[in-house]
Amino acid sequence: MSVGEIRVAINSDQDIVSARQKGRAMASELGFSSGDATLIATAISELARNIVSYARKGQITLKGVHGSSRVGIVVIASDDGPGILDIRQALRDGFSTSGSLGLGLPGVRRLMDEFEIDSQPGRGTIVAVKKWRQ
């Protein structure tokens, strides 16, 4: 089984649907359950929504990863938007309106197994998340 890398440009709500669709297809190709594929699509939605809301445009990259004993999926959201001044604050529940409901970045972190973020004001944001197949 080999799954390549897929990039989806994110400029609009339609692009979010497209990223979700490709992420879900890749997840099921990698053997994720449909429940986990739903959670992966959810994480993609939240990441892509952040791009559209804060940076206007960016991209979502999807990759399959094959570790020695396990299989996973990586979702990378990147943009050249205004960046995040205080990352710790952005990861805290209640920082934004969506965050107060446990959605947004804190929500994505909880849905996935691994979470990395890199951002600086004026230099865009990269969020990389990974989920392993159960």
Partner 1 sequence: MKIAVRRKVRRHADFEEEYNSALNEYAAGGGEIALGRAYELGRRALGEQKSLVEMASLHHRAMLGLVRGAKSEKRLVELLQASTEFHAECMSPYEMAHRGFQDAVKALRQLNETLEEEIKRIAYAVHDEAGQLLVAVHLALADVASELPVPQQAKFARIRELLNEVEKHLRRYSHELRPTILDDLGWIPAIRFLADGISKRAELPIHIESNVSERLSGTVETTLYRIVQEALTNAAKHAQASNVWIRAWKENLVLCCSIRDNGRGFDSDGTDATANRKGLGLIAMRERISAIGGTLQIHSNPGSGTELSLRIPLEGEHVNSNRAGG
Residues of this chain that interact with partner 1 (CB under 8 A) are 16-18, 20-21, 24, 34-35, 38-39, 41-42, 45-46, 93, 101-103, 106-108, 110-111
Q: Are 41 and 23 in contact (CB under 8 A)?
A: yes
Minimum distance, C-beta of residue 14 to partner 1, in the bound complex (Å): 8
Instruction: Take residue 129 and report the two structure tokens written for it.
Output: 């998340």
40 vs 84 by CB, closer to partner 1: 40
Minimum distance, C-beta of residue 115 to partner 1, in the bound complex (Å): 13
Residue the block writes with tokens 């994720």:
32
Minimum distance, C-beta of residue 100 to partner 1, in the bound complex (Å): 9
34 vs 68 by CB, closer to partner 1: 34
Neighbours of 111 (CB within 10 A): 16
3, 82, 85 from 12: Cα distances, Å: 26, 18, 24
11 vs 120 by CB, closer to partner 1: 11
Q: Which of 45, 56, 62 is nearest to 8 (CA)?
A: 62
